[in-house]
Structure formats: C-alpha cells, structure tokens
Structure 1
C-alpha cells in the first residue's frame, strides 16, 4: 500500500479511549475537579476513571496570572496543603493602593480601602507552579494527565448530548495536507466532560452557540493582563508587599490598572490590565504597560533590575451577571471558561478551584446514581448556595461602575463595598460586547508612544522571545479569518488597523505592498494564546482555533 493510501486510511479512523470524566484544561479548575472526583470516589469506595487534557507542553506552561491567591478554596480541596508542600510560600504583609498622575502618586490610607483590596491571609504565588503542584496531587490519586494534547473538537451522541472530545491531528502542513509525520488525533469519550479552558475557551464558544448558553446573560466583558517577572536589587525588595494602582497612563474614561507583587528571592511580578471595552483604536495595552513602568513610583523598584519573563492573557471581568448557563447535556463549563473571576479582587484562582469542586461533586453524584450524559443541574444549584456566589453577588456592579470612568467608578465602588458592604438594592448591567465599543479612527486622537529604552520598556518581539513561545512552523495558522478582505477593507480603513496594537505579541502586522496598498500579515508563530484578537476584533472576523498541542508559550515561573 502506498504512503498516500496509508495516510488516507489513518485520516479515516481515530482510536478512542473511554473515561468516566474527561476534563479539558490542566489549570486550577480542571485539576481541582479531577482531585475532587478522586477524593469522592475513595470516600465511597468506587472506582472512577478521570483524564485531563492540557494543550501546553506541560501543565503550567500556559498558566498566567498575577497572582495573589486566596487559599480558601484550596483549604477545602486539600486541607493539609501546607504539609504537602503547596507552593504558597509568600504571605502578603502589606497592601498599597496608589492613584497615579504622570509624575506623582497618591496613596489611599489602608483604613479607607474596601475589603476587596485587602489581602491579609492571601499569598503571592506563581499560579503556573500551583498548577504543577496540583497536577502532582492529581496524578498521585490516579488521574491521567496528557500534556501537549489540545482538545480540538467536541464529539456528540446521536441525541445531541456531549460524548467527549477529540484531540487535534499532528503533522498537518500549512497547506492543510498530512505530512510524513502525520498522526491522527484521539477520541476521548466520557459520561461527562468538563470544559476548563480558561477565558474565551475555543470549545466553550462552540458549546455556547450550540446550546444557547448565553441566553439571558449579560455580554461577557474582558480585560487583557500583561505581566513581567523581574529580578530586582535586594535593597529594593519588600517580600509580601502587594501594590495596585489606578490612573496614569490610562485616561479617566478607560478601565484598567496595575499590580506589582513582591515574591521571594528578590523577584517582583509587575503587570497591567486594560479593559477590552476601550473605545480608541489607537490605544495599545502593551505600550501603556511599558509607559507605566517608567512612572517614578514604579521605576524606583525596577531600575537596576533584570526582566526575566513576559506573558499576556485575557481575563473575564463581567462577573456574576455575565455568567452563562453552566451545564448542558453531557458536560459543564468550569472556572474562567464560564467567567467566575472576581474582577473587584483581581482574583480568580479560588473561584476556579471552588467551581471545579462543585462540578466534580455534581458529576460524582450523577455517576453514583447511574446517570450519564444529562445536565448536571446540581452544579449550578450548589453554586447559588455557596460562599463564592455570595462573594460575586457583593461585587456584581464593580466593572459596570468602573466602566463609567475612574473617579465616578471609584466613588461608587467605595460606597457599595466600603460603606454598604455590597448590600445594595440596585443592579447594573453590561449592555455591549467589547468588540462593539471601538470608535472609528477619524473620531479619535492618535496616541504617540515613546520608543522603548531597553531598560524599563521593551518592544514586542524581545518580549515574546522571553515567553519561550514556539509553534511548529509547518502547520496551518491557528488564527483564522472568516473573510480575508475585512482586515484591510474595514479594520484598516475604518479603525486604522487596531489588531496591530491590541495584540501584545506582534502577531498582526499591516505592511505596504508594491502597489501602495496595505495587506495584513499574520505572524502566528508569535502567538502567546492570550485570545485578545478573538475578543476585540471589531468585526469578529478573527477566530482563534487550537494549534498543534504543545505549541504556544512555555511559562516557567509565571
């Protein structure tokens, strides 16, 4: 039989594996669900098969967060986490909140800070390392974890319920044809499939459309978080200091702010969040972050230090009112896949762990009762009676107020959270998706950003280099266009090509052709999987799909 015939036969058939529960995503949500499933099975004397698919080259490779972690949910999942060596080593010792102007900073007295900005009892962590530790706990319980395998397709039963997922084929060339290294993807079938891909999950979008999960929910809104890890001079290091800022370099009408957390070993994590509902297409979140680091109050920590890593990731910010329906026949959305992050606290890991536990408990009870492929209605019901629901309900208006401007938003959040403890009779709603918010470039002021100095501020390509991003060169681009004419005919002509600015990795580049016209070049190999383009593209013409498993960034201590 010829090589071509062998490839044709391989493409026709996929091998399959059967599990009780398949989990898509090896982050805190997915791993916590796996651990809880195994704990419950052991308590009940049952056997349960669980596998976790992780598209990164290893667990933690694609995990990016601030992060200050509230250990409440972890203590419920693994009460003896300290004895088991969880990498929560730096307890918060001090909170600072600053309002910045271009040259000055004004600190908010600690007594005036709402509880959402107080971090006593929380820990400065590398969430990537927390995920790696959770993976060790899961594997010790018998969970099968498959890193480097991206879930690329949802499988369905004849009745429409979710049957499982299929991993992507390997060895497909740029032309879409199998190469000599072709390997067919694997089907993983399950009684229940939990989707824990993080913010703007590719499969989550498919499920949302198929099962109309967003009916009745507010539009989800997002922010892009850009982060660097620095090694700073020991004399400037304040282990356990947690600092947040608002104001400069963003204008009063643009939602955003910064974080600067002092970890151990003279390291600080510094980052910037910009709400993706901004209106000026000339705004560049990446360049705003670079400007922020030059502020006197920030540069005093970083000057003389060394930048060692970089990354970016979109985060959900809509809160309680933007949550979709969580369940559908055969599966559920968990963690930031659904949007459980508490934007007022800039924290989502505790919510991911808690919802992972709640979904696992619902699936375990269903399996115990002999059910499968139905809706796990016990999961959203348990969420509504949980402490997490109460926390998100108190903060339900945060992003809506902050979207009305820095000063009004700050005042109203202070009234709601500090004076009234979140117990207010009113509820504000999100009315628009982020991609609807851009104004035509002709209505906006162009923003001139300073050139990077190579000491505090940097360019995109040198930043991507230290994110350890890599994609197999000969593969189809995972950043796809519904209509290849729209980037020039609409985005360039109307919005001055915003994709070249909102992308923090230099993926999108408008170049001038010999005829003087513009064309869009997509440097997919630079992609750090932040999902910003999938969210902010004003025509929703860009669709992010899964590249080959193992591709993308490789974050070590982020």
Structure 2
C-alpha cells in the first residue's frame, strides 16, 4: 500500500490522554507561559468518557496545580468523614481498629469523587487558559524525527475496513508534531508500550504488576446511605492465597461506589475475577446495604501496583511518560490520581525550562529525577514492599509484614530494603491441572449480574466494520496452547466477555472468537495472557465505553 500522506500541525507540546496527568500538564504549561502552544488528544468521545477510578482523591496534587479549586467549583463535594477497614469471612467480618493502621492509610482530608467529572472540570480550566483539547481523537502511531526521537503522533485516522484497507469514508488523520510529546494514556497504553520497548526504558526496573479493578455505581435506600463513609475490605471471597481487596464509597445523592481489585498475579487460571466481584456483593454486610437499590453503571480498568521499583525510566528522546503510563499508584492507599497530577506538573515544568532554552527532542532527565526523588517518589518508596510481600506471603503474611514495613517507613527506613517482584503477572499463571476448578454461583439479577448485562451499563460502543483493535501475534495459540494447558483463561479474566472458545456443532472443532465490540479498554488481556499473545491497540476515536460518573 502506498505511503499515506497526512497534513501536519506544529505545537510546542503534544499531550496524549485527557486524564488527570495530561490535563495537569496542559494547565501547568499555560500557567508558566500563556503563549505555549499545547494540544491534548483524547480517544474517548468526550473528556471523562474513559476515566474509571475508585475514587478517594488526595487533593495534594490539585492544591499545587490550582490552589483556589474550591472557589473555581471543582467537583470535590464529599469529604471523607468515616474510615472502615474489615477482614471478611464468608458470613462474618472483623474490623481492624483505625489506630493499628499506618498513618498514610488515613483518608482524613480526602474526598470521594468521580474522577471523570474532575477531569471534565479540569478540561474546562485548561481551555480557559487556551489549551486545545480534541476528544474522539485516538492516537494510532508515533512519528519519529531524524535522530530517532519521538516528534509527534498520528491522530484521527478513521474509516478503515475490517481488513485494514481504507474504506469509502476513510480519513487519514493528521500528524501532530511537538517539541515534546507527553504520553499520559493510563495503564498499559499502546504508544507507551512502544516507547518503553524502543528505548529500553524498563531495562533497570522490576516487571510492572497489575490488578483488575471493577466498579459499579448503585443508588441505594436513603436510610442506609452515609455520605462520606469509606470502607475497604480484604479476605473473602478471594481468600488468603489470592490478593486484592474491595471498596465501598458513599458519595452524594444516595449513591455508592462498589468495587473490587483482583491482583493479576494469581496462579489459578480457573479464577474468574468478574465473578469474584459479583460474589462479593452477596456478603451479608454488602447485600444488606444494596438490598432495594439499583445498579446504574459498570466499568473495569487495570490498575498498576508494582510501585517504586517497577517504574520505567519516565523520560525518552522527545518526550515523557506521565501518570499510570509510569505506574504511580500507591497500592495500599489505592490512590494514584494525586501522583498523576504531580507527574503532569513536573513534566510541564521540565518541558517549559527546555523550550525556554530553545531545546526540543532531547531527553529530560530532570523530570525522571523529580519523579523518583520528589513528592511522588517519597509517596511510593514508603509502600514499595507491600506488593512483593503480598505476592510472597498472601493476605495474612502480606498484611502483617507489609503493615510493619509501612510503620517503619514512617520513620524513614525499611528493615527489608527494596524487595523484588520477580515474575510478571502473565508468568505467574500456572497450568490448569495444578489447580481445582472454582464453582461460581449463577448471578441472581438483583445483586449480581452476568457480564454482558453489566457491559450494557458501561455504555460501550465500537463501530463494527473497523479492524479489530485486539489482535493475536499467533492465531493458533489460544486453541492449541492456552486452552489445553491453561483451560482458556481469557474466557474468564476479561471482565467484558470479549473472548470465547466456541465449538463448531458440525465438526466439533473449537475456534477462538474475539467480540471486540464488548471491550471496555481495561487492558487485562494485554497483561494476563500467559503467552503474551494478545495485543491491545486503540480503536478509532470515540469508540469504547462512555462512563457517566466513574
């Protein structure tokens, strides 16, 4: 096929992703220089459409970026009033006293928010400063300069046929060039993966670790609602061998966020994270809260949990990785949005200094140093051993030793040093014959729901004639390798029912089916597939979930 000719537009800084990191960077750049030419490209149909987070927000990043955010009407309306920590059994619960929890676990001064709505508000602040924001513009390719640096991206390519050839309404998209390109795509972004691989940014870091976060919004009986209450649990239904946890956050308007994070380092390929989440809602404590209520939204998203030692180098020739593209979530706090904002501020300040010195396309090592040695690094260093301890000792051992390590870190040291993660989450998966199958109860349609019913509540849509954005490096592996050895785990680890093993009624042969239309862009398949055979790329702009208040 002949090389596609595209128009090009020049900017000082091109930002991929209108999440908290990208928008913070855009705002800070314009605060530093009103004449700085900044563009933000967002693959969702609108800003916030693809944002899914718990979320209890530590406002330290917002305080630094926009100190008068209250006066400007930021949607931080529900301060945390009550913190609860429980270890659950199948029918009971044990509350952990707040005083035994390390101080960093306290949510005093934090807010229960919809990060989608926070990002919508941040986009308004950015546009008032003159930032150009283009939603529905998926970035499908990187553009490289003469010296091998990243000099831009291709955005807005639309109208391809299923086989990848241009269709009748094909639009080639545009090249957007910048002196620096910021990649703030969130977890496991497709361009970020390419950059990390091309420049070997993870050569000196531990494998990144992940969890699968699933979340529903419920409207509940006002008599049971307690605005400002934050509850975290661990234990049942995941047990002591599989790590993860749940959250219940009471926001305003008689709504609660109910969610679960299942760590993707689990060994048993029969584990079905989505059904673990559905089962959790039948615990007496949760069932009583939700009884008589109704679910109004659903979504899922991978979460980084590797922490400090899993951070790749964040600066590369011509640009920087921001937020969850680096992996800045504080695992025990289940918080990363504040660090995402701080990373955006730091990236903007590094780029501003370089542009003022008439530089561009180089490696801004001062940004990487700030991430590791500044406020973000301090936040992550204190909890750096929690994930590896959980991986080694499971729930009880990880809770005991990890808690002790967090306490000592409040004094500025760790007796354990910095532990390694070892295996990637894909490598952690063991053959199915080493494990027992898990019998999951059938969803009752009141508290628990099947996947496809719930996916409808993510308001996901993909134009079906486009090329599938989920591809296989080797099409034979799912049936010939993953099915006999691992019992076809993709049929379970996907929280949207994208993958199926279908048996032909006539021939009896099994084929692997990809229902890409269901995809909620969680990236779990790209992370957990044992053979690392599934590749997630961006579909055309505007496609995917349309989260209202996640």
- Tell me, what secondary structure is at the counterpart of 2:401? helix
In structure 2, the residue matched to 1:418 is 407
* 1:257-406 equivalences in 2 (<5 Å): 257-403=245-391, 404-406=393-395
- Tell me, what secondary structure is at the counterpart of 2:298? strand
Residue 230 of structure 2 is aligned to residue 242 of structure 1? yes
Residue 207 of structure 2 is aligned to residue 219 of structure 1? yes
> 1:29 touches 1:352 (CA, 8 Å); kept in 2?
yes
- Tell me, what secondary structure is at the counterpart of 1:282? coil
In structure 2, the residue matched to 1:155 is 143
> 1:153 touches 1:168 (CA, 8 Å); kept in 2?
no
Q: Which runs of 5+ in 1 are unaligned?
A: 1-7
- Tell me, what secondary structure is at the counterpart of 1:251? coil
CA distance in 2 between counterparts of 1:384 and 1:216 reads 14
Of 374-383 and 433-442, the range deviating more from structure 2? 374-383
In structure 2, the residue matched to 1:461 is 452
> 2:42 touches 2:136 (CA, 8 Å); kept in 1?
yes
In structure 2, the residue matched to 1:510 is 501
* 1:77-116 equivalences in 2 (<5 Å): 77-116=65-104
- Tell me, what secondary structure is at the counterpart of 1:12? coil
Displacement of 1:555:
0.3
Correspondent of 2:174 among 186, 211, 226: 186
* 1:6-155 equivalences in 2 (<5 Å): 12-42=4-34, 47-155=35-143
CA distance in 1 between counterparts of 2:101 and 2:455 reads 36
Could you give the per-residue CA deviations for residues 106-156 of structure 1, whole angstroms, max 9, x where no partner exists?
A: 000111122232100000000000000000000000000010010110000
Displacement of 1:158:
1.4
CA distance in 2 between counterparts of 1:36 and 1:164 reads 20
In structure 2, the residue matched to 1:3 is none
Q: Which runs of 5+ in 2 are unaligned?
A: none
Displacement of 1:418:
3.0
Q: Output the TM-score relative to the length of structure 2.
A: 0.98
Q: Output the TM-score relative to the length of structure 1.
A: 0.97
CA distance in 2 between counterparts of 1:223 and 1:51 reads 31
> 1:156 touches 1:162 (CA, 8 Å); kept in 2?
yes
Task: List 4+ stretches of structure 1 deviating above 4 A.
Answer: none
- Tell me, what secondary structure is at the counterpart of 1:165? strand
Displacement of 1:85:
0.4
> 1:162 touches 1:330 (CA, 8 Å); kept in 2?
yes
Displacement of 1:253:
1.1
Correspondent of 2:540 among 545, 548, 558: 548
Displacement of 1:420:
5.2
* 1:421-436 equivalences in 2 (<5 Å): 421=410, 423-425=413-415, 426-436=417-427
Displacement of 1:298:
0.9
CA distance in 1 between counterparts of 2:135 and 2:536 reads 20
Could you give the per-residue CA deviations for residues 334-384 of structure 1, whole angstroms, max 9, x where no partner exists?
A: 100010111121000000000000000000000001111001112112223
Correspondent of 1:408 among 397, 400, 425: 397
> 2:138 touches 2:157 (CA, 8 Å); kept in 1?
no
In structure 2, the residue matched to 1:437 is 428
Displacement of 1:517:
2.1
Correspondent of 2:160 among 160, 172, 178: 172
- Tell me, what secondary structure is at the counterpart of 1:466? helix
> 1:231 touches 1:307 (CA, 8 Å); kept in 2?
yes
Displacement of 1:240:
0.3
Could you give the per-residue CA deviations for residues 94-114 of structure 1, whole angstroms, max 9, x where no partner exists?
A: 000000000000000111122
- Tell me, what secondary structure is at the counterpart of 1:134? helix
Displacement of 1:419:
5.2
CA distance in 2 between counterparts of 1:485 and 1:420 reads 48
In structure 2, the residue matched to 1:481 is 472
- Tell me, what secondary structure is at the counterpart of 2:485? helix
> 2:408 touches 2:414 (CA, 8 Å); kept in 1?
no
- Tell me, what secondary structure is at the counterpart of 1:445? coil
- Tell me, what secondary structure is at the counterpart of 1:412? helix
- Tell me, what secondary structure is at the counterpart of 2:458? coil
> 1:114 touches 1:418 (CA, 8 Å); kept in 2?
yes
- Tell me, what secondary structure is at the counterpart of 2:133? strand
